[in-house]
Structure formats: C-alpha cells, structure tokens
Amino acid sequence: MAETWFSIPPERIAREPLSQRDGARLLHWQADGTLADRHIPSLVDLLHAGDILVVNDVRVVPARVPVERPGGGLGELLFIQPWQGADDLWMAWGRPAKRLVGRFLRSPIGDLRVDTQRTATGGLLVRLASGAPPSLALERAGELPLPPYLQRPEQPL
C-alpha cells in the first residue's frame, strides 16, 4: 500500500460536485511515477488497446442517522449492514456507543431499539421499534455519510 500513497494538499480536494460534470479534474499517475493534472474528457487519450478501465458504480447508502436518547442527549448511528442476513436487524457503529447500548432512541427514520448485545467487533445491533426493515427507512430519511475531510453538511446532488 505504501507505494500507492501520496499526499494531496487540502485545497486540491473537491468538496462539492461540479454542475458541469465533464469539467471534473483527473489526477493521472503516469508510468514514470509523476502526477499530472488533467480533465475527465482527456481520459480517452490516456487509454490504449488492451487497457482495462474499472468503473466504480457504487451507490452510497444514506446510512447515517442522528438519534436522541431518552434523557435528551444526542448521538449518531452509522448503519453498516444487515446482521447475519436478517433485514430487520442491522449492525451499526454509534456515537457515543456506550450510552446507546440497550436504549430506545428517537430518529428521523423512526424509533430504534439498540440491543444490549454487541458484535465481536464492537458494533451495535439495531432494529426499528416498528419491526420494519431499516433499509427502507434509511432510503427515505437517512443521511449520506460524508468523509470527515469534506467538512460540510450533506446537500442534495
């Protein structure tokens, strides 16, 4: 991994999507190891017969959910995945995790129940009090989990 690590100055990190997507910039790691600033339309000039272009077509799930504890304290859950194939029970990371265990929580996706049992990796096991699948509620009212370096509130695209 060390040979693929490079430093990018913070002012060079895109924090907002461009309205004109074809104006997006492309960082080209050249064969000699140097970096070159380019734009997305120049990608066709960089590809040669036999090259493989891998496209990341992943859709980010709006899995970040602010929560309110019974005493009024605030927290946050990040839903990671259904627990052992069951859609009604999800593994999530929480802040502050210790104060969320075994609690009923209010949230924009509905009332939640956090089990007292935790996963082997420290994750919380969470289900909607209504018994409905969290996946549907997340699509309706969850927030996008933005990387910390973006330092901006979520905005619709």
* Angle (CA) 134 150 77, round 5°: 25
Query: What is the residue-wise DSSP string for 15-83?
Result: -S--SSGGG-EEEEE-TTS-EEEEEGGGHHHH--TT-------PPPP--EEEEE-TTS-EEEEEEEEEE
Phi, psi of 40, deg, nearest 5: -50, -45
Would you state the torsion angle of the CA atoms of residues 96, 101, 104, 110, taken in this order, to the nearest 10 degrees?
A: 60
pTM of the model: 0.68
Q: 64-141 has which CATH code?
A: 2.40.10.240
Q: Which residue has the tokens 């430093």?
A: 7
- The closest alpha carbon to 146, from 134, 155, 136, belongs to 155
Of the chain, the end-to-end C-alpha distance in Å amounts to 32
Task: Name the residue ranges covered by the structural domains of the chain.
Answer: 2-46, 64-141
By the 8 A CB rule, do 17 and 23 touch? no
pLDDT tens over the chain, length 157 residues: 566 777 778 887 777 778 888 888 888 988 899 999 999 999 999 999 999 988 888 888 899 999 998 888 899 999 999 999 888 889 999 999 888 888 888 898 888 888 888 889 889 999 888 888 888 888 888 888 877 777 665 554 3
